[in-house]
Amino acid sequence: MHAQETHCRHFLKLTDLGPAEAKALIARAIELKRRHKAGEDHRPLAHRTLAMIFEKSSTRTRVSFEAGMTQLGGHAIFLSARDTQLGRGEPIEDSARVISRMVDAVMIRTFDQATVERFAAHSQVPVINGLTDYLHPCQLLADLQTFVEHRGDIRGKRVTWIGDGNNMCHSFMEAAQLFDFELRVACPQGYEPDAGLLAACGNRCSILHDPIEAASGAHLVATDVWASMGQEEEQARRLAAFTPFQVTDAVMASAATDALFMHCLPAHRGEEVAASVIDGPQSVVWDEAENRLHAQKALLELLINPPR
Ligand code: CP
Ligand code: NVA
């Protein structure tokens, strides 16, 4: 039992996948999307259960994992910290030991990255990071799928991240390593991404403080909210610092003519992105949101039913 606890495969960060494996997973997501749209039944996870623990709000992550498990023939259980013993102080390690004896995989959305790591260390089944303050790897699977669908291979392309050096930015930095693209980050002073992660990216990632310059020649421009979940009381201070970092038509005009715009959503029009950009012809945000479903189905297949 103990060996199982320690040798189980998890998805806590994007780089838990190898480069070839990540590429294959994106291809599999595209294939699963095609099969789903063709009305094909594909139920490799019959009678399997995914537990979903949410310590923060969610629309896309919850709906995509729940619908995905249904489509794969399995079932998902929504667990909010408020209604479980986790919210009343039951240790994360004990919760992991108990929940993982009853289900086939666990998805967690929480604050500290250390929480998903502690859970995984005591889980008998795969654990998936559904967003922490540090990373949002599931979103990047969908983003990469979306880029490949619209533009083909992302290797060697230029991606510009504009805004906060937050969980999404960190996952883009991991994606740059895994998929071998150039990442330019444009953020206000004091809101830079994690220095250790930056060092791990080597010359693939650079930090700038001018969004127009950073977007120059980019094939993809992406952004996110200025105050993430848990930072609500910093809202006013952040608004002042981030106002020059809105993704405007001028920023998009600096990018390559066929540049795509992405946002993990939820979005605030008139803050991090102009309505004309997110609702304009270069925006692929709805495909991006839909692809959460297909990419995570490929992930669930890989983790719960690994190929032999
Ligand atoms: N993009 C994303 O993770 O959305 P939710 O917060 O709605 O799950
Ligand atoms: N950075 C945002 C992403 C939401 C999907 C947050 O953590 O709230």
Question: What pLDDT, in 10s, does the model give residues 166-184?
Answer: 999 999 999 999 999 999 9
What's the 27 CA to ligand 1 centre distance in angstroms?
23
| C-alpha 300 to ligand 1 mean position (Å) | 18
Q: Is the pTM of this model over 0.75?
A: yes
Burial 89-100 (b: 16+ CB within 10 A, else e): eeebeebbbebb
In one-letter notation, the amino acid at residue 52 is M
Question: Given this model, what pLDDT does residue 306 score?
Answer: 73
- Regarding whether 246 and 175 lie in a shared domain, the answer is yes
Cα separation, 298 vs 63, in Å, equals 16
| CA 134 to ligand 2 center in whole angstroms | 10
The answer to whether 193 touches 132, Cβ cutoff 8 Å, is no
Q: Which residues pair with 260 in a beta bridge?
A: 220
Single-letter residue type at 124: Q
Which atom of ligand 1 is the closest one to the Cα of 138? Answer: 3
Query: Is 282 in the same domain as 298?
Result: no
Known catalytic residue: 9? no
Residue owning the nearest CA to atom 1 of ligand 2:
228
> Pick the catalytic residue: 28, 48, 62, 109?
109
Could you tell me if 113 and 211 lie in one domain? Answer: no
CA distance 187 to 185: 6
Pick from 144, 137, 101, 92: nearest CA to 119: 92
- Residue 58 Cβ < 6 Å to ligand 1: yes
Q: Note whether 97 and 227 are same-domain residues.
A: no
Contacts with 51 (C-beta within 8 Å, 6 or more apart), sequence order: 76, 77, 79, 99, 102, 103, 105, 106, 107
Give dist(CA 32, CA 23) in Å, integer: 14
Closest C-alpha residue for ligand 2 atom 2: 228
Domain that holds residue 155: 138-288
231 is catalytic: no
Residues 147, 131 share a domain: no
CA-wise closest residue to 190 among 166, 223, 213, 222: 166
Tell whether 129 and 214 lie within a shared domain: no
| Cα 295 to Cα 165: distance, rounded to the nearest angstrom | 24
136 catalytic residue (yes or no): yes
- Mutate which of 56, 60, 290 to test ligand 1's pocket (most atoms within 8 Å of Cβ)? 60
On whether both 154 and 283 belong to a single domain, the answer is yes
What is the strand order of the sheet 105-109 is part of? Answer: 75-80, 49-54, 105-109, 127-129
| Backbone φ/ψ region at 270: left (φ over 0), alpha (ψ -120 to 50), beta | left
Q: What is the pLDDT of residues 55-66, one digit of tens each?
A: 999 999 999 999
**Ligand 2: which atom is nearest the Cα of residue 139?**
5
- Domain check: are 150 and 223 in the same one? yes
Among the listed residues 192, 234, 232, 229, the one whose alpha carbon sits nearest the alpha carbon of residue 209: 192
- For residue 82, the model assigns a pLDDT of 87
Q: In angstroms, rounded to a whole number, what is the distance separating the alpha carbons of residues 168 and 174?
A: 10
Q: What is the pLDDT of residue 2?
A: 47
Task: Return the number of other C-beta atoms located less than 10 Å from residue 210's C-beta.
Answer: 12
| 178 shares its domain with 190 | yes
171 lies in the same domain as 43 = no
Q: What is the CATH number for 243?
A: 3.40.50.1370
Q: What's the confidence (pLDDT) of residue 5?
A: 46
**Low-confidence residues of the chain, pLDDT below 50?**
1-5
Q: Which of 140, 125, 182 lies closest to 22 in space, CA to CA?
A: 140
- Same domain assignment for residues 10 and 57: yes
Total number of domains constituting the chain = 2
Active site residue 238: no
Same domain, 132 and 195: no
194: left (phi over 0), alpha (psi -120 to 50) or beta: beta
